[in-house]
A and B are shown apart, each in its own frame.
Chain A
């Protein structure tokens, strides 16, 4: 064991200056010189740091609840008010060197660890979740979301549904109006915990956790980061239960972070919340009210709460940007895309949703495709017609896998058309440009990629999204290749066709028959996000809402 070195007093003085943030450049040089002198000095320094670190941990949770004084945060950099001020603040942070570090931290620890940590915190309560079948919230948006297990199927969620978000952002909207943004890794359950065996006769003050009076307006964050925005009469009282406490909202915006050890940060951005906890059955539940700009730290056991010496609320930024976008663009909240037609083309032309069955024309065949089987068109009279129109006027997505035998002539992929009038369709043009076309009375409107976007004898995933606010976007293999902000809607015509032009052209050679393979054609009501589109490319159309991003093996 090393002895404390002779120059320990000077080393200690420099260390003290450093931890107090008062180290001058001259002292810094002196500290470096001292540490270069001997291993003993290095060992003393490491011991001092370790001791300081551990003393901070030991004492971080010793403050009693009763006389707890929550400090006010300076939220000026975060801009509590919404609008340009906030955006400017975000930009300032984004230029701040610390933001780089925080952005990296957004990725946080890996999925496996996060899930493990979450499960560790989670298991004791699982049986307490009140499961229901009725939808209480929807997944309305996600970005770079990677899920462990299934993402909400179709976006809808009932009480008791657990979300394991490995990474990325996800936004939930409750029917009560509450918006919750999650940042992965996170383990969140829609609907709160119900106290097992709790009755109205129970003395609520002796319960270890809150009895959730309204599972439809609550959630349980076992691990990770969350931002909640609560506004409106139905939303009031929204409660988030944590492993060690509960936060009941009183009309506000607040952020939470549950750490790996179960400790929690609670930060109130606007309004007020009631924060309550009880470490065990024998301890009365304690409750404090927090208001705008206040932050609190609850120890892992929930027995103590203390203010943080350094409140780092940078983790909120990414989630707040999303919340701001949602509040400024109500259309974004409508992004609850649902698949409304899906021709898998696995040996037949049936629509797996059952609404738009296709009929084979010519001698259309089925062969091994990109996802299961694909339809094989010989370019000489083969096609699939539905006689219906699954395309909404606006806010929709259509996608397909295509493999043309050649790109020497114009070929029709899928869509609707009445010449000089109505419809919307996808096509491949000479030299492999991809185009989306909306026929119109005055003129056709189209958006087209550069040539060679589609290569002959290669699979390409093609998609177009049509938004009432953003117009048309055209994608190849999940990447944006063309757009037209004016193409915000199309005129319906009931002749959705795959593999050739739907309406009768002036001459048969202008049917633009497809020659090659087409697979997995699908239509969604709603504009798919980039993440959802990537899911379609990587996982197939029916898995558009699943979050496990993976690459298909090359064929």
Chain B
């Protein structure tokens, strides 16, 4: 029998505090999840699609989530299975990683990205520590999506030199972020 509103219990969007917390956790981990999927060899747009599918499953399984456990680990596990599922629909030549490498990367990425917020914050600070030339190259590469060859023209240098410059800038950023996080952690 229908109730007065024609509703069936359980069909309405949940609104209690527990659900709100769950949704907040989902929202807080969106960028992290996209990066996690990207680290498993998927392009950005594909990663977005897979995270959307992950979100759907996270929501459907919200009642299975134990509040005392790690939401990030829970979300990674579901996202990982989405990646595996996606791989099955891809031809072999489209797959960047073998299953063995994928599994290892998934473990490392889950650990590495757990505190992605710290990484994001420090990266912004580290960008300011780059040399002006490195900053320019990063800006051209990412802001204006300029090809290495075009950057080389602007800097009157060779594409290989620009690639090297980009490499040094990226590795310097990684070292900087690691250093800053270590300092902040008191290590």
Contact = CB atoms under 8 A, between A and B. Distances in A.
Interface residues of B, number: 77
Given A371-B1, A553-B1, A51 B143 contact: no
* Of B20, B166, B167, most A-chain CB atoms within 10 Å: B167
Given A2-B178, A105-B48, A552-B2, 15 more contacts: A42-B104, A43-B112, A44-B174, A46-B108, A59-B139, A107-B53, A110-B56, A116-B20, A309-B44, A371-B1, A371-B2, A546-B6, A548-B7, A552-B8, A553-B8
Interface in B25-67: 26-27, 30-31, 34-35, 38-39, 41, 43-46, 48-50, 52-53, 55-56, 58-60
Contacts of A56: 44, 142
A89 interface: no
A49 B38 contact: yes
Q: Which of B31, B56, B123 has the most CB of A within 10 A?
A: B56
A37 B112 CA distance: 18
Interface stretch (A94-102, A213-221, A468-476): A94-102
B105 to A, nearest CB: 6
Contacts of B45: 310, 312
9 contacts: A8-B171, A35-B97, A35-B101, A50-B116, A62-B139, A62-B143, A101-B50, A108-B56, A148-B12
Contact of B170 (A39, A48, A312, A551): A48
Contact of B120 (A18, A52, A54): A54
B81 interface: no
Contacts of B98: 32
A266 interface: no
B31 A57 contact: yes
Contacts of A100: 89
Interface string B148-187: 1000000000000001001100110111011001100001
B89 to A, nearest CB: 6
Contacts of B30: 260-261
A110 B63 CA distance: 14
Interface of B: 1-2, 6-8, 10-14, 19-20, 23, 26-27, 30-31, 34-35, 38-39, 41, 43-46, 48-50, 52-53, 55-56, 58-60, 86, 89-90, 93, 96-98, 100-101, 104-105, 108-109, 112-113, 116, 119-120, 123-124, 127, 138-139, 142-145, 148, 163, 166-167, 170-171, 173-175, 177-178, 181-182, 187
A54 B90 CA distance: 26
Interface in A31-75: 31-32, 35-36, 39, 42-60, 62-63
Closest 3 pairs (CB-CB, A-B):
A110-B59, A550-B8, A59-B142
A104 interface: yes
Interface stretch (A78-86, A188-196, A321-329, A535-543): A535-543
A50 B142 contact: no
Interface in A1-16: 1-2, 4, 8-9, 12-13, 16
Nearest to B105: A42
A24 to B, nearest CB: 11
Nearest to A371: B2
Contact of B6 (A9, A101, A111, A539): A539
A542 B98 CA distance: 56
A551 B6 CA distance: 11
Contacts, number: 193
Contacts of A538: 8
A102 B105 contact: no
B11 A548 contact: yes
Given A50-B113, A57-B31, A107 B139 contact: no
Given A54-B35, A54-B119, A108-B52, A32 B142 contact: no
A457 interface: no
Nearest to A120: B27
B29 to A, nearest CB: 12
Contacts of A181: none
Given A8-B171, A35-B105, A39-B108, A109 B13 contact: no
A111 B56 CA distance: 9
Given A54-B119, A310-B45, A539 B2 contact: yes
